[in-house]
Homo-oligomer: A and B are copies of this chain.
Amino acid sequence: MSRGTGYEKTKRNANVSDVAKAAEVSVATVSRAFNIPDAVRPEVRKRVLAAASSLGYSPNAAAKALRMQRTNIAGVVIPTLDYAIYARMVNSFQNKLSAAGHMVFVATTGWDNAHIFERVRPLIDRGAEGLLLVGAIEDNDLREYLKDKRLPVVTSYSYQINDTVPSIGFDNYAATAELVDYLIRLGHRRLAMISAPTKGNDRQRARVQAFRDTLAENGIDETDIVLERHQALTNGADAMREIHAQHPEVTAVVCSSDVLAFGALAECKKLGIHVPKDLSITGFDDFDFSALLDPPLTTISVPASEMGERAADALLNALTTSRAIQSVKLETNLVIRKSTSHPPKAAK
């Protein structure tokens, strides 16, 4: 069947024995020439390296892993790569790790975080020695499993002060509270929120909670208007339309992401609502395009690549020293741009 144009292996790869033979030494010496160069006479080492290179030899990773009980593989599990903020974190995570000679497996759960354990297990089974996850672990089986394996794990995107699993993230509650507080000080009294789904997502829950608490603290305790929508431009637009139709008194819309905010902004344009004169809109993430929107988006900037880097360092360190990982709290920034202002006079 096969026309010889395919991928059938013709010659097997060279192995230590081949190199040993070619260099007229033992396999032990070959191994040492690569791994403990100083333990081999320079002249011999040179011979070995030359033989290896002429045979195109490179050590078999599986054999090495089996023997050393060490894979040098890390894993990262995220909702999706198709969202800039995760992609960015993974990008810096993998850059750091690959510079340190580690490989990284990536797995995605989709937006439904419920099945994260199903994604984690194959990663571990296939050799991941450390793990980067997104958000607090809410699955107790997973928690037990990870503890049992004594695997270095760090969660990201939300800083957890009292979790046994170390986290490298920021304070979603505080960041949102600061933002809502800012809106209230501008004079807004009727606010709505467009959030990403809160199910199985502690970050979103923290943001919604901060929204509600901050309103309450300021004596604004009418029924909260909180719409949950999946991260997508069109969902931001739809939610905006709904708010406009059902709650025309609203003067500020807090969006849980720049994506949602961008959708809302675009919808306002269609509806003839002027932002920020008629309505203030805020985002979360500070995507690069957010500064260029019309109007530029007031939002919260988030240390995505820093999380990836720090997580990589933490994992690397844990793998080397076996010492526990310390949680680290990173800062966010409220970036005030032109999509927010005082509410219209009539609404005050």
A residues 42-70 in Cβ contact with B at 8 Å: 56, 58-63, 65-66
Any B CB within 8 A of the CB of A28: no
| Total copies of the chain | 2
A323 touches B6 (CB 8 A): yes
A126-152: which residues lie under 8 A (CB-CB) from chain B?
Answer: 126-127, 148, 150-152
B125 touches A58 (CB 8 A): yes
Give residues of chain A (1-32) contacting chain B, Cβ–Cβ below 8 Å: 1-3, 5-10
Interface check A108, CB cutoff 8 A: yes
**Alpha-carbon distance A119/B104, docked complex (angstroms):** 13
A106 at the interface (CB under 8 A from B): yes
**CB–CB A82/B71 < 8 A:** no
* Given A56-B148, A81-B90, A292-B266, A104 and B106 contact (CB-CB distance below 8 Å): yes
- A218 within 8 Å of B by Cβ? no
Q: Which residues of B contact A152 (CB under 8 A)?
A: 7
Chain A interface residue count, CB cutoff 8 Å, equals 67
Least distance between A80 CB and chain B CB atoms (Å): 6
Q: Which of A91-99, A169-177, A245-253 contacts its partner?
A: A91-99
Among B2, B105, B151, point to the contact of A103 (Cβ < 8 A).
B105
Determine which residue in A104, A289, A321 has the highest number of CB atoms from chain B within 10 A of its CB, and name it: A289
* C-alpha gap A82/B66 in the complex (Å): 34
Point out the residues of chain B lying under 8 angstroms from A233, CB to CB. Answer: 288-289, 292
User: Is the Cβ of B269 less than 8 Å from the Cβ of A289?
Assistant: no
* Contact flags A162-185 to B (C-beta < 8 A → 1, else 0): 000000000000000000000000
Chain B residues with Cβ below 8 Å from A60 are 66
Distance (whole angstroms) from the CB of A313 to the closest CB of chain B: 15
Contacts of A244 in B (CB 8 A): none
Task: Give the docked Cα–Cα distance between A151 and B7 (Å).
Answer: 6
Judge if A107 is at the interface, Cβ distance under 8 Å: yes
A87 within 8 A of B: yes
A343 CB within 8 Å of chain B: no
B321–A292 CB distance below 8 A: no
Given A106-B104, A126-B61, A294-B294, A324 and B6 touching (CB < 8 A)?
Answer: yes
The reply to whether A150 and B7 contact each other, CB–CB distance below 8 Å, is yes
Q: A122-B103, A127-B61 are in contact. Are A318 and B150 (CB under 8 A)?
A: no
Q: How far, in Å, is A196 (CB) from chain B's closest CB? A: 16
B contact residues around A271 at 8 Å (CB): none
**Complex Cα–Cα for A181 and B124 (A):** 53
Q: Which residue of B lies closest to A83 (CB)?
A: B87
Q: List the 4 closest pairs (A to B, CB-CB), nearest first.
A: A62-B65, A266-B292, A81-B91, A87-B87
6 further contact pairs, Cβ within 8 A, besides A3-B323, A7-B150: A8-B322, A61-B126, A62-B66, A237-B292, A266-B292, A269-B294
24 contacts between A and B (CB under 8 A): A2-B322, A2-B323, A6-B318, A6-B324, A7-B151, A7-B318, A9-B150, A58-B121, A58-B125, A62-B71, A66-B66, A73-B126, A81-B91, A82-B305, A87-B87, A95-B108, A103-B126, A104-B105, A106-B106, A233-B288, A233-B292, A237-B292, A262-B292, A289-B289
